[in-house]
Amino acid sequence: MTDRAPTDWRTDAMRRRIVRRYGAERRFRMFGLGAIILSAGFLAFLIVTMVMQGAAGFTETRVSLPIDFAAAELTVTPEQLRGDRGNLALAGAGLEGVVDGAAGAAFAQQGGAELLSDGAWLRVRDTLKANPGMLRGRTAIDVPVATDIDVAYKGDGTPEAEQVVAALGDRLSRGLNRDFFGNADATDPTRVGIWGALKGSLLTMFVTLILAFPIGVLSALYLEEYAPKNRWTDLIEVSINNLAAVPSIIFGLLGLAVFLGTFGLPRSAPIVGGLTLALMTMPVIVIAGRNAIKAVPPSIRDAALGIGASPVQVVFHHVLPLALPGILTGTIIGMARALGETAPLLMIGMRAFIAAPPEGLTDPATVLPVQIFLWSDEVARGFVEKTSAAIIVLLVFLLAMNGVAIYLRNRFETRW
């Protein structure tokens, strides 16, 4: 036994030491909190930036354009405007020229027809089709303005454009840009829309889902329930785990070499995008599915086997229904990841300029993230807000999908 006096905690040295140690403790804790807050702050900053920039992308600036249709003498009767033929009739009668002329007369000081968006005459056309009576008179129609005026009216323009905005005064107004939800890509930022890209995304996701979900679920069932423990099973497991970690661009190279090169499928088509993304999503579904299947207690299987069900009946009548919420959660998360994926789709040519929404699985198409990438490359100022607006749409979709996944998890997941 050593003879040692107990530590005297009241000496100055010991007190200083305690203070120092507690100070270190506080600092360490603050560090941790700071790391969390900074990460969350970055997310908040990113979202706020996108919303601030993107909100303007959903609106357009309009100018009130006086047109005298009676004097313009369009060779169109109100009857001809009904139905789809009305578009052709008005285009054939030279409506675009009439609109440009009216702009030239009304805004001679501000650049005439240059003031209007390329799509302004389309707005006049649609208004005329809705109110054929206008053909006989003089009227004023709100039409979208060119992109530099649009940007200036929203407060970020060049000095010249600012002067034009000031000169026009209250003839300018702001409204919801409906074309943004109906159009596809265009060269004029005031005419672009995300519907084309959104439709491409939906078609691509459809292909991905109908391929990756059944294959993923079936292989998860096989690996978890039936697979004998041998070298082949190990090989399957290793490849699935590796596929989940392969960089996405490698899948793009695979799609380019195999689907486009060997099979000769069409470039830029949703079917190829869907196939490529399905290969990428499948491992995610398999891994999530296996975890969900593993969580089903063995007593369920034993009970079913005990009353005479065959192994296939045990799995398809009992295990699969119980594991389905977990599998669906994993599937939605995998699909959300596929929806945000860009790089592999660039490889298979989905970066082309596509001015019309795709009509089928083999039509040239683009998808939302690639559209964002393409617009971010544009130099014209008007594309900045459109890019951010498209990002908002994409994030809303992803948040909705993740929300559904979280809801499913909380609502249906059973804890055994």
Is the Cβ of residue 25 or residue 73 nearer to another protein in the bound state? 25
Q: How many residues bind another protein (CB under 8 A)?
A: 88
Which of 129, 301, 318, 337 contacts another protein by CB under 8 A?
337
CB 184 within 8 A of CB 197: yes
Using the rule CB under 8 A, give the single segment among 107-115, 122-130, 280-288, 292-300 that binds another protein: 280-288
* Residue from the set 282, 293, 304, 335 that interacts with another protein by CB under 8 A: 282
Task: Provide the minimum distance between the beta carbon of 154 and another protein in the complex, in angstroms, as a whole number.
Answer: 17
Tokens of 303: 């009970």
User: Nearest distance from residue 355's CB to another protein, in Å?
Assistant: 14
**β-sheet bridge partners, residue 58:** none
End-to-end CA distance of the chain: 55
| Residue 207 CB, nearest approach to another protein (Å) | 13
Is 149 a binding residue for another protein by CB under 8 A? The answer is no
Report the residue number, 103 or 345, with the smaller CB distance to another protein: 345
Count of CB atoms situated within 10 Å of the CB of 27: 10
- Distances in Å between the Cα of 348 and the Cα atoms of 136, 245, 249, 274, 284 are 52, 20, 10, 11, 22
Nearer to another protein, 122 or 394 (CB): 394
Q: Is 304 in the site for another protein (CB under 8 A)?
A: no
Q: What's the chain's Rg over C-alpha atoms?
A: 31
> Segment near another protein (CB under 8 A), from 84-92, 111-119, 169-177, 335-343?
335-343
Site for another protein in 32-91 (CB under 8 A): 32-36, 38-40, 42-43, 46, 49-50
What is the nearest approach in angstroms of another protein to the Cβ of residue 321?
16
Q: Which amino acid is at 78?
A: P
- For residue 92, CA distances in Å to 74, 89, 97 come to 10, 5, 11
> Considering only residues 189-228, where is the footprint of another protein by CB under 8 A?
214-215, 218-219, 221-223, 226-227
Our finding on whether 329 is near another protein (CB under 8 A) is: no
Question: Among 16, 31, 137, 353, which residue interacts with another protein (rule: CB under 8 A)?
Answer: 31
259's CB contacts (< 8 A; 6+ apart) are 265, 272, 275, 276, 348
Residues 236-275, mask of contacts with another protein (x by CB under 8 A) = x--xxxxx-xxxxxxx-xx-xxx--x-xxxx---------
Q: Does 185 bind another protein (CB under 8 A)?
A: no
Q: How many helices (H) and strands (E) does the chain have?
A: 17, 3
Q: Which of 298, 130, 273 is nearest to 212 (CA)?
A: 273
Q: Which stretch binds another protein (CB under 8 A): 70-78, 79-87, 103-111, 282-290?
A: 282-290
The span of 90-98, 158-166, 192-200, 371-379 binding another protein (CB under 8 A) equals 371-379
Q: Which backbone phi and psi does 352 adopt, to 5 degrees?
A: -70, 160
- Angle, helices 95-106 vs 120-130, to 10°: value is 110
For the beta carbon of residue 219, count every other beta carbon within 10 angstroms.
19
Least spacing, CB of residue 402 vs another protein, in Å? 6
Contact letters for another protein, residues 92-131 (x by CB under 8 A): ----------------------------------------
Neighbour order of strands in the sheet with 138-144: 138-144, 59-68, 172-176
Question: Rounded to whole angstroms, how far apart are CA atoms 63 and 150?
Answer: 10
Q: What is the DSSP letter of 60?
A: E
Does 394 contact another protein by CB under 8 A? yes
Distance separating alpha carbons of residues 395 and 334, to the nearest angstrom = 15
Beta-carbon contacts of residue 98 (< 8 Å; ≥ 6 apart): 67, 69, 72, 74
By CB under 8 A, is residue 351 in contact with another protein?
Answer: yes
Nearer to another protein, 343 or 404 (CB): 343
The reply to whether 305 sits near another protein by the rule CB under 8 A is no
The reply on whether position 407 binds another protein by CB under 8 A is no
In the bound state with another protein, the residue whose beta carbon lies nearer, of 240 and 408, is 240
Element (H, E) at 174: strand 172-176
